[in-house]
């Protein structure tokens, strides 16, 4: 082993208690960082995936302006052929056409206003997980059947069960009166109150018929294999519809503007907290290394008198910090990963998680995934700050004069 390395290693164990306390601060912060960052990344992933997969998809082809106003007449003409074309051109079946309108839904005893989506029954299950959440009855089947699936809360409020009839009352795309009687085919339960209370789906062809859409819809939903694939897929979609009649492709950020910002807001407050933790660790290292340098002044004087250069001494001091930092890094990552891995199996929850989670389409128990990035990033920053903190103590050595140093007791 390199003599300098050996020297540094021995030096840090001259005061084992101090070394352990300093390393302890790192390990504590590292465990916390590994756990928190893994949890955060896991949560963000779930927030994005759940929100996008429940409904909006990774991107949508829409009329310009629809994303902001969602007006009935901001339509995509011939929406089913467009969706079919995209499916074929992209070689992907996670593409589906939709239309949307607001209407009053009346049962025997109750009337509620709801958002009705016209969907392609054969393709919708590929882009959204709502069809899979049908608890009673079945999902839609025929493109032109006058049937509907509704959320569980709405079903309770309307006091209907599968097979019952609902009267829909709304306005068509031209502002004219639109009405139809539909049969409740199925009832889904997503667990998100707003969705279960406000949303219903019916076959797109029947929807177009009822609301005088004339073959038009409002969106073509496209789900990418994963969030990471979305930008590339979007470029391909844009190439395909760009030539078409003035349609735009909206990415998930535009479709769910709150989502990214909610994550950003949460991240910045989290990073503020992590930053404080890291700086506190740096203070601890600075204190330790400065003291360790000061109390060795005499000793340093002796070795300098023997011919050791101040630069080398400085390097030894930095190496000592690096060794402590490495120790803290390794122990922190091991313990943090163990904790996170355990939670990734057992799941993490806390008081109040139910309500918090429901607000963000999250399950009440989170299984934080262990990834290289989420595990290493926090401890790595701690390590860098450890080194930074020992620059000053190491730099002080440059001003050391052997004779004066030896006089210090």
Partner 1 sequence: MRILIVLVRLAWRYLWRNHRRTIIMLGAIVLGTWAMIFMTALTRGMVDQMIADGISAIPGHVQVHGQGYLDDPSVTRSIPLSDEEFAARFADAGFSAWATRVRVPAVITSERESRGVTLLGIDPAAERDFSFVDYGAVDGRFLESPEDSGIVIGAKLADTLETRVGKRVVLMSQDPDNDIADRGFRVVGVFEANMQAFEEGFVFVGKATAQKMLRMGTATTEAVFVGDDYRNVEPVYDKVAAGVGDAVTVSRWTEVDTYLGTMLKTMDGFVLVWMIVIFLALSFGLVNTLVMAVFERVREIGLMLALGMKPAMILGQIIIESMMLLALGLLIGTALAWASIVPLEGGIDLSAVGEGMEMWGASSVLYPKLYLEDVVLANVVVLVLGFFASLSPAWRASRYEPVEAITKVG
Positions in 239-278 near partner 1 (CB under 8 A): 257-266, 268-269, 272-273, 276-277
Closest CB to partner 1 among residues 141, 264: 264
The reply to whether 408 sits near partner 1 by the rule CB under 8 A is no
Among the listed ranges 57-65, 75-83, 135-143, 163-171, the one in contact with partner 1 (CB under 8 A) is 163-171
The reply to whether 360 sits near partner 1 by the rule CB under 8 A is yes
Among the listed ranges 20-28, 117-125, 130-138, 368-376, the one in contact with partner 1 (CB under 8 A) is 20-28
Tally the residues of the chain. 409
Closest CB to partner 1 among residues 15, 162: 15
The reply to whether 281 sits near partner 1 by the rule CB under 8 A is yes
Query: By rule CB under 8 A, what string of x and - marks binding of each residue 322-351 to partner 1?
Result: ----------------------------xx
Scanning residues 69 to 128, which ones bind partner 1 (CB under 8 A)? 69-73, 101-104, 106-115
* Interior/surface letters 283-314, b for 16+ CB within 10 angstroms, e for the rest: ebbbebbbebbeebbeebbebbeeeeebeebb
CB neighbour list of residue 92: distance below 8 Å, 6 or more residues apart: 86, 222, 233
Scanning residues 30 to 59, which ones bind partner 1 (CB under 8 A)? 32
Q: What is each CA distance from 119 to 92, 152, 183, 206, 305, in whole angstroms?
A: 18, 19, 16, 9, 85
Query: By rule CB under 8 A, what string of x and - marks binding of each residue 293-312 to partner 1?
Result: -xx-----------------
**Among residues 318, 286, 270, 285, which one has the least CA distance to residue 26?**
285
The reply to whether 181 sits near partner 1 by the rule CB under 8 A is no
Scanning residues 197 to 216, which ones bind partner 1 (CB under 8 A)? 198
Among the listed ranges 149-157, 184-192, 229-237, 331-339, the one in contact with partner 1 (CB under 8 A) is 149-157
**Chosen residue from 90, 145, 240, 290 binding partner 1 by CB under 8 A:** 290
Pair 71, 146: CB distance under 8 Å: no
59: region left, alpha or beta (phi > 0 left; psi from -120 to 50 alpha): beta
* Residue with token string 């590994």: 34
As to burial, measured by CB atoms within 10 angstroms (0-12 exposed, 13-18 middle, 19+ buried), residue 377 is: middle
Q: Shortest gap between Cβ of 93 and partner 1 (angstroms)?
A: 31
What is the token pair recorded at 334?
Answer: 């091991």
Among the listed ranges 220-228, 238-246, 302-310, 358-366, the one in contact with partner 1 (CB under 8 A) is 358-366
Look at residue 169 and give its three-state secondary structure: strand
């Amino acid at each position: 082993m390199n003599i300098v390395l050996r020297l540094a290693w021995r030096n840090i164990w001259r005061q084992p208690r101090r070394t352990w306390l300093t390393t302890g601060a790192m390990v504590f912060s590292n465990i916390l960082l590994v756990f928190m960052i893994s949890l955060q990344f896991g949560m963000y992933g779930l927030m994005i995936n759940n929100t996008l997969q429940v409904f909006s998809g990774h991107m949508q082809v829409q009329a310009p302006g629809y994303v902001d106003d969602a007006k009935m007449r901001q339509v995509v003409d011939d929406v089913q052929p467009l969706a079919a074309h995209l499916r074929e051109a992209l070689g992907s079946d996670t593409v589906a056409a939709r239309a949307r309108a607001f209407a009053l839904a009346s049962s025997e005893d109750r009337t509620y206003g709801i958002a009705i989506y016209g969907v392609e029954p054969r393709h919708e299950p590929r882009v959204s997980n709502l069809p899979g959440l049908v608890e009673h009855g079945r999902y839609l089947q025929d493109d032109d059947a006058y049937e509907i699936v509704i959320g569980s809360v709405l079903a309770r409020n309307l006091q209907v069960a599968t097979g019952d009839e609902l009267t829909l009352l709304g306005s068509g795309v031209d502002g004219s009166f639109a009405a139809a009687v539909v049969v409740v085919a199925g009832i889904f339960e997503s667990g998100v109150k707003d969705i279960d209370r406000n949303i219903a789906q019916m076959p797109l062809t029947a929807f177009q018929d009822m609301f005088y859409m004339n073959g038009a819809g409002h969106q073509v939903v496209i789900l990418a294999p994963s969030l990471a694939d979305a930008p590339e897929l979007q470029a391909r979609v844009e190439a395909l519809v760009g030539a078409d009649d003035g349609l735009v492709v909206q990415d998930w950020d535009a479709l769910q503007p709150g989502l990214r910002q909610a994550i950003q807001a949460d991240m910045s407050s989290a990073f503020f907290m992590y930053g404080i933790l890291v700086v506190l660790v740096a203070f601890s290292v600075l204190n330790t290394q400065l003291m360790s340098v000061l109390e060795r002044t005499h000793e340093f004087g002796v070795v300098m008198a023997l011919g050791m250069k101040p630069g080398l001494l400085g390097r030894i001091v930095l190496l000592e910090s690096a060794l402590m930092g490495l120790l803290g890094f390794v122990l922190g990552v091991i313990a943090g990963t163990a904790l996170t891995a355990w939670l990734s199996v057992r799941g993490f929850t806390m008081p109040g998680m139910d309500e918090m989670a429901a607000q963000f389409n999250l399950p009440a128990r989170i299984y934080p995934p262990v990834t290289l990035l989420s595990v290493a990033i926090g401890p790595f920053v701690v390590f860098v700050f450890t080194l930074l903190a020992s620059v000053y103590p190491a730099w002080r050595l440059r001003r050391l004069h052997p004779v004066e140093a030896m006089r210090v007791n």
